[in-house]
Amino acid sequence: MKLEVGFMVQRQRRSSFQRTLSVVLAAVLFAPALLLQGTNTAQGAGYGNIDGTTYEYDQISKGTQTQIHLSDGRTIGVNTGSNLPVDSKFITHDHNAKRIFTAGAHNGFTTNMQIKLMNNGDLLIRTNNNPLTLRDTNVVDFAYLDGRGEHTSMQLQTMSWFSLKADGSVYAFGGGTNGQLGTGTKSDKTAPTEVINPDTDTPLTGVRKFIQLNYNNVLLVTDGQVYKIGRAFNSDSFHDAKPINITRMFPAFTSADDFEMGYLHKDVGRHALWQDYSANQTIQPLLDMRYFKINGSYYTLTDSAQPAPYMTKLGRYGYDELRSTQLYPLPVSNAENVTRALTDFKAIGNASLSTRLDNTFFELQSNGDLVSWGIPIGNMGYSSGNYNASKTLIASSVVKYLVAPHTSSSVVIILQDNGRVYALGSNGNDPANLGTGNIGPLTGIRGKLTVPTPIEGTDNEVKDIVDIAASYNHLYALRDNGEVYVISNTQYGKINNVRYVGLLEVPPTYTGTDARNEVYGIGEDGNLYYFQGSSPVMQNGVTGIYPSGYTPVPAMIDKPIESLSYDKFENSVVTLDYPASAMIKEYSMDNGVTWVNYTHPIVVTSVGSVTIHARAGLDTGTNIIYSDPLIMNISNDPIEIPVGYPKLLEQDGVVTVDTGAIDLSRVQVQVEVNGQVSDYVSPIQLMNGNHTVSAIILNAFGAELARVTDNINVSPATPGVLTAPIGHLGDVDSNDQRSLSFSFNPTQGFLQLQHDHGLWVDEPDIFNHYTGSSSDPDSTERKYTFMIPNVIGSVYKARVTDGVNVSAETTLVVTGVVYDPAFLRDANDKLVIDFSNLPTGNWMKEYSLDHGGNYHEYVGPIDVGAHLPIKIRVLDPSTGYILTDKEYITPALNGANPNPSPGVDPTWGTEVTAADQEAILNVIGGGLSSQFHGLLLDNIEIQTVHDYQMINSVTSALLEDSTGQGDGWTYSLSITDFVSDPVLDTGLNTSDLIVKIPSSSLSVDVKSAKVLAGSPDQVARTGNYILGAQKQALAQAEPFQGMGYYDIPMDFTFRVPSSVEVVSAGAGSAHQAGDRVGLRVGVYRSLFTFSLAKGI
């Protein structure tokens, strides 16, 4: 687990100021679960997330340089100096710079230096306020060094610079008379010169990284080797002007990636003052505590298991761990989660001089346990000598903690995963003080805190906390509602000028008695606010800054983008692409009434016009922002496969594929027999024996939509019983012809054909009567194919005879294909005619309003008012072939044109004789008339037998009562049973069996009447009726009602039963009238009688 604490850390550089240390578990650092509502993303347009923070120590002016690195490529630096405007504490660095280091550029220093590495590899250096000068190119990193040795400040006169190239070579330039360049000679260099490998006296190569030990020591790390330039670790590279190989000081490693150095809690450049009165000398021990991470294990130069040696005078300038030649194991799993809390000072007299310096170590472990070792927490700031090297558990379920070790605070602040804040320690009280004690400056609580004590505030509202930070004398706690609580020994309040999403701690950039850690709030608006107690000050020059992992919620969001594709059934598949920032992704199939979460592409399965709404949303925590809706209108026309289809039907070894209502113009039908697949074009003849047969439905691209498999056993034919031929009738071609084919077994006999009940034509004479061809696919099959005129009602029969026996007849009837258009009214009541069901071709579409007297070409919506009858003609202009020529009833007006013209056709109402009234569908008498239109059951053709087919027909009846007498009227319908033409008697193999389907198989659903003109009465007897020989009233008008023109829609449904009743049979048949037999192939007829009578 990586701990990203860079910008959260407060650092002390001198004993003359105080600071607070903080650590937070990496798993929750500025994650949305810890902070406020946002989207977990690394980068977004117009803002940058804090990716990390780097610190370098300015040895000239004794201040920290903090650089905040943002995900959008920006680097934000903390302005240096103690007299800066309170609203201008940050500056944005050159975006073309990869790394910048500045020393001595504030507090009146005239001696200063800046090193600037550009993204293109140029290395620029400026000294003493001179302009930046290009000193080297193709550089990937740099280091610097003051070659004077042990001094507490740098001088530019002796400065040296090092550049690392991408090829692993190292170059040096600058001051070199002390041997500090490592080039093999003690001389200054103005041009970059190669650094020498001390083991071979050749240029050093293979260097992967620089490590800046301090201002006068640099490590050069290769894969497996470590070289040093400087005087650290009790050796001096200046003597021979060459680096020193110090690899043996470290555990073995094979990659520079496995060798790292850092500072415990990134505490860079720390030192203190110690007055040695006996020698009248001030000593500044260096208190930095480095760690090395080698092959995943941690080591230090100062032993954390022993009391600190800082007050032991070692050398001229006091303690410095870089004199060590030994590494000590650091018993932690991740040094990034460790804080070294150093007792700052104990004042003597009027001087700020250190008399006791020691460490308390803290580690926030990956399981949330906070442990410590070293000086006990209760003695922080008052070093007691009771050093304990064993880890002690302080608290569990910790997500972040702060340490304020100075005597004025001496407290640990803990944030637990329950959102509560606790404090533990002396709390600004002398451990030896037994009185009531002081109020802690960071807790607002009086007295010592020997156990974790909740910090709740005076109103108990310090709860649901997601982040904490501290300056010298104020604790800041960010609540999940975006408010920041301010707590001290003199103040408690809230900062809520904006909604805050994070806290930022910055170490001081200058020295002096007024130096303080600084805390900033990160606003939801992307601005930084400097907290002066409870007063926030917005910073100028920097904006669009957010915590790591946080994405701001914008004020608006774009709607999703759709793409349309199709599945194998040609269902529309809608894929929605939502903006990356969308927190809510929804769609609706009911015009926005109900919204559903979008998780995967939407497959539309309903037929017809479908409207889909889609929207993206943002949850700001206080409200939800939705995008404009995306509205998609889709016409969905999938390939429908009825349940149970396809079916395999077998009779006498002949297999037929029944596709039911499947649209064969959009699919391919295949049949597989014993593993052999072929296209299905006509019934197939199976040989004797067992067969595995499959019917397969494929789409146009070959994807399988449905499959049914059956095992079929074909027994040898009974001697003397011949197999009937198999017939197939094709579609109409451009010449108004159809293909007709018959297949039979020539080993059983020869073929005979008959047309329209004429003479039978024997096989040798067939081509004298028909135009076509024959083929013999194998020895048991012969196929004849002819082209016949498309004469509706023509009957073709075929049979096989051996001269003695005759097979059953196969009958094919030429039926018409219905190309009726659809009619609707547009918003202006104009008539729209839909010809979308026409076959492919160059068709002329015409209409007539005078029963065919004059035709006009249809080119778009026409204004015909309420004109009821319209005749439609569709023809091929190149051949004159008429595809359809029929009269229809226009739909009712929708109300947009209340005064239509020309109105009802005045020719209606012509009288006919009474004898005609029972024979036709138009009954007229004395101004009382009806016209029935659209029934498509006039020749029900069942060419394949499957149980319980349903055949639907949408019709309408137009009724007129213009008698002016108001007697009322009744409109009724009766039908007879559906009686077949002669069909096959399987027992005799003769076609002399007559069967019937009961009239009750037909039902009608009467819809509400549309009033075209006249009194607004509901004359339709709405409902569903089963029809029969008794008259069924479909519409009725009471006296003085129904005077006008009425259009009554009706839906007829014909249900084909699985069995039929025998009406009569031929001689010798096993059947007799009244028997039930299976449904037979054939033509069934019924008489429909519509009656319109005056009165009720």
Give whichever of 356-370, 472-486, 734-748 has the largest mean pLDDT: 472-486
| pLDDT at 966 (0 to 100) | 78
CA distance 711 to 708: 11
CA distance 544 to 666: 57
Is this model's pTM higher than 0.75 or not? Answer: no
CA distance 389 to 297: 19
**What are the tokens at 1047?**
């259009």
Share of the chain above pLDDT 90, in %: 38
pLDDT band of residue 271 (cuts 50, 70, 90) is low
Q: Which DSSP state fits 589?
A: S
pLDDT band of residue 437 (cuts 50, 70, 90) is confident
Give the 3-state secondary structure of residue 106.
coil
Determine the average pLDDT of the residues in 1052-1061.
77
pLDDT digits (tens, 9 = 90+) for 499-524: 999 999 887 654 433 345 789 999 99
Q: Does the pLDDT at position 1 exceed 80?
A: no
- Cα angle at 793 between 788 and 796, to 5 degrees? 50
Compute φ and ψ for 379, nearest 5 degrees.
Answer: -110, 10
CA neighbor of 548 nearest in space, from 1086, 29, 1068:
29
Q: Does the pLDDT at position 260 exceed 90?
A: yes
| pLDDT at 82 (0 to 100) | 59
Share of the chain above pLDDT 70, in %: 82
**Contact yes or no for 1085/1043 (Cβ under 8 A):** no
Give the mean pLDDT of the chain: 81
Give whichever of 476-485, 670-679, 738-747 has the largest mean pLDDT: 476-485
Determine the average pLDDT of the residues in 467-485.
93
Determine the average pLDDT of the residues in 222-236.
95
5 vs 56, more confident: 56
Give whichever of 44-48, 501-505, 549-553, 1072-1076 has the largest mean pLDDT: 501-505
Determine the average pLDDT of the residues in 942-963.
61
Residue with token string 């949408």: 954
| pLDDT at 1070 (0 to 100) | 77
Q: Does the pLDDT at position 532 exceed 50?
A: yes
Determine the average pLDDT of the residues in 108-114.
65
pLDDT band of residue 45 (cuts 50, 70, 90) is very low
Q: Does the pLDDT at position 418 exceed 80?
A: yes
Q: Does the pLDDT at position 566 exceed 60?
A: yes
Architecture of domain 719-812: Sandwich (2.60)
CA distance 885 to 899: 30
Q: Does the pLDDT at position 901 exceed 60?
A: no
Q: Does the pLDDT at position 113 exceed 90?
A: no
Which residues, 6+ apart, have CB-to-CB distance to 423 below 8 Å?
411, 412, 413, 414, 440, 442, 443, 445, 449, 452, 453, 455
Determine the average pLDDT of the residues in 746-750.
91
CATH topology of domain 818-904: Immunoglobulin-like (2.60.40)
- Range in 311-325, 773-787, 803-817 with the lowest mean pLDDT: 311-325
| pLDDT at 834 (0 to 100) | 85
Give whichever of 3-7, 381-385, 544-548, 720-724 has the largest mean pLDDT: 544-548
Q: Does the pLDDT at position 449 exceed 60?
A: yes
Longest dimension (CA), the chain: 146
Q: Does the pLDDT at position 698 exceed 80?
A: yes
pLDDT digits (tens, 9 = 90+) for 590-603: 989 999 999 999 99
Determine the average pLDDT of the residues in 1059-1076.
84
Q: Does the pLDDT at position 1059 exceed 80?
A: no
Burial class (CB in 10 A: 0-12, 13-18, 19+), 376: middle
**Contact yes or no for 369/332 (Cβ under 8 A):** no
Tell me if the domain spanning 561-636 has CATH number 2.60.40.10: yes
CA neighbor of 562 nearest in space, from 606, 598, 605, 609:
598
pLDDT band of residue 463 (cuts 50, 70, 90) is very high
Q: Does the pLDDT at position 362 exceed 70?
A: yes
CA distance 427 to 405: 9
Domain extent listing, the chain:
1-59+61-85+271-552, 111-268, 561-636, 719-812, 818-904, 908-1096
661 vs 539, more confident: 539
pLDDT digits (tens, 9 = 90+) for 3-34: 222 222 222 333 333 445 555 543 333 333 34
What letter represents residue 499's amino acid? R
CATH topology of domain 111-268: Methylamine Dehydrogenase; Chain H (2.130.10)
SS3 annotation, 825-872: ECCCCCEEEECCCCCCCCCEEEEECCCCCCCEECCCCECCCCCCEEEE
pLDDT band of residue 953 (cuts 50, 70, 90) is low
| pLDDT at 528 (0 to 100) | 95
561 vs 896, more confident: 561
818-904 has the same fold as 111-268: no
pLDDT band of residue 825 (cuts 50, 70, 90) is confident
Torsion of CA 728, 731, 737, 738, to 10 degrees: -10
**What are the tokens at 810?**
């196969």
DSSP-assigned beta bridge partners for residue 97: 118
Compute φ and ψ for 873, nearest 5 degrees.
Answer: -130, 130
| pLDDT at 152 (0 to 100) | 56
pLDDT band of residue 780 (cuts 50, 70, 90) is confident
Whether the ω angle into residue 646 lies within 30 degrees of 0, i.e. cis, is yes
113 vs 217, more confident: 217
Burial class (CB in 10 A: 0-12, 13-18, 19+), 470: buried
- Range in 85-94, 354-363, 405-414, 630-639 with the lowest mean pLDDT: 354-363
CA distance 264 to 1006: 89
982 vs 694, more confident: 694
Q: Does the pLDDT at position 837 exceed 80?
A: no
In whole angstroms, how far apart are CA 220 and each of 116, 188, 235? 20, 21, 15
Burial class (CB in 10 A: 0-12, 13-18, 19+), 664: exposed
Determine the average pLDDT of the residues in 343-360.
54
Determine the average pLDDT of the residues in 1002-1019.
83
pLDDT digits (tens, 9 = 90+) for 642-652: 888 898 888 77
